[in-house]
Amino acid sequence: MIIKTVKLTNFRNHSEYVLECKDSTSLILGENGCGKTSVLEAIYIATRGKSFRAVDADILKRGEEFYRVEVEYISGEKAVVAYDGESKTFLIDDKKTKRLSKKNKYPVVLFLPSDLNLMSSSPTSRRDYFDRVFGQFDAMYGVSLSKYEKALKQRNELLKKEYLKPDEVFYWNLLLAKYGMEVVLKRKAFIDEINEKLTDVYQSIAENEDTVQIELETMVDGDENGYIKALESDFERDRILGHTRFGVHKDDFIFKFNGKVANGSASRGEVRSIILALKFIEAEMLKKKLGQNPIVLLDDVFSELDETRRRCLVKNFRDNQVIITSVESIE
């Protein structure tokens, strides 16, 4: 799918904004705060169903009652998102839905400036990052994850009760183990798949012999039964602390550069090439898994890259529709 136009109404600082997209590369140029990232955010909502950075109430232009995003594809298809201050509706082919169905989602490779700090940021931001990517690889991953998160919330709420018996959390232990296992097995499988390509793709960018791997760091190493046992044996401790210690909500993704933790051993330039390699692999895997070539949204990162890495980026995404934001003009 190729986007033809994007129209924003009352979206962040935009009262009315229209972007006419090129089939290949479009550039949104403007000063900081003029609303460039917001345009990518609008495209992301129309293609993925929700924002990568905020809830709808924050997106709605201050003082307005609704926002609207209209994305028209060159095929003639159209996706409309409307938010009325309370809930969001998607209108696709004259059908209204509250959520964007799998069929109406479209793969996107999103590249934010903060992604360049992925290795040195928090485990939470790394989980959020990979969860967003894996949710695109496999819609069921997102379903398992959100069921897991709901069960975790319930268990944690119970743990705050003053008098609590172990069997009161039994049901939640079962759910956490079931969905937790689904999540961790898919995380492992996707990381393995990324790792199969990571060093090669990295070397093609950096033109050297260094190796790159991602490791999933998780407390979970057994099966569903082992998971339940771990939760049960943690019960007293969890009750005192008022939250669940064990589980996939503590997983982390560790980048290794030549076998050592990349954060601290890889240089700034090497880190950039690693992230670039990761993006290329994401695009390739999305295309392979979904049979659709992802739209590439590059937020302010082009200017962060040197000439060689820019050329790699352009070459790698030559068959994708790319939308770039930048403060300075790029040749």
Ligand X SMILES: Nc1ncnc2c1ncn2[C@@H]1O[C@H](COP(=O)(O)OP(=O)(O)O)[C@@H](O)[C@H]1O
Q: Which residues bind ligand X (CB under 6 A)?
A: 12-13, 30, 32-38, 58-62
Which CA distances in Å does 301 have to 37, 120, 237? 11, 17, 44
Least distance from ligand X to the Cβ atom of residue 107, Å = 23
Question: What angle is formed at CA 31 by the lines to CA 30 and CA 35, rounded to 5 degrees?
Answer: 70
Output the smallest distance, CB 189 to ligand X, in A: 35
Nearer to ligand X, 4 or 36 (CB): 36
When the beta carbons of 38 and 173 are compared against ligand X, the nearer one is: 38
Whichever of 67 and 90 has its CB closer to ligand X, that residue is 67
Backbone angles phi, psi at 11, to 5 degrees: -105, 110
Residue nearest to Mg ion (CB): 37
Q: How far is the CB of 299 from Mg ion (least distance, A)?
A: 6
Nearer to Mg ion, 113 or 226 (CB): 113
Dihedral of the alpha carbons of 71, 278, 103, 39, in degrees to the nearest 10? -20
61 binds, among Mg ion, ligand X, none (CB under 5 to 8 A by kind): ligand X
Nearest distance in Å: CB 296, Mg ion: 16
Does residue 326 bind Mg ion (CB under 5 A)?
A: no
Cβ contacts of 132 within 8 Å, gap of 6 or more = 52, 110
Nearest-CA neighbor of 65 among 57, 73, 77, 54? 57
What gap in Å lies between CA 46 and CA 39, rounded to an integer? 11
Cβ proximity to ligand X: between 34 and 80 the closer is: 34
Q: Which x/- pattern over 5-44 shows residues binding Mg ion (rule: CB under 5 A)? A: --------------------------------x-------
Name the binder of 34 from ligand X, Mg ion, none, CB < 5-8 A by kind: ligand X
Whose Cβ is closer to ligand X: residue 38's or residue 320's?
38
Query: Tokens 């479009």 sit at which residue?
Result: 26
Q: Does residue 144 belong to the site contacting Mg ion (CB under 5 A)?
A: no
Q: Least distance (Å) from ligand X to the CB of residue 87?
A: 17
* 118 sits in which H/E element: none
Question: Mapping DSSP to helix (H, G, I), strand (E, B) and coil, where does residue 257 land?
Answer: strand
Choose among 261, 302, 297, 248: nearest CA to 120.
261
Name the residues that contact Mg ion, by CB under 5 A: 37
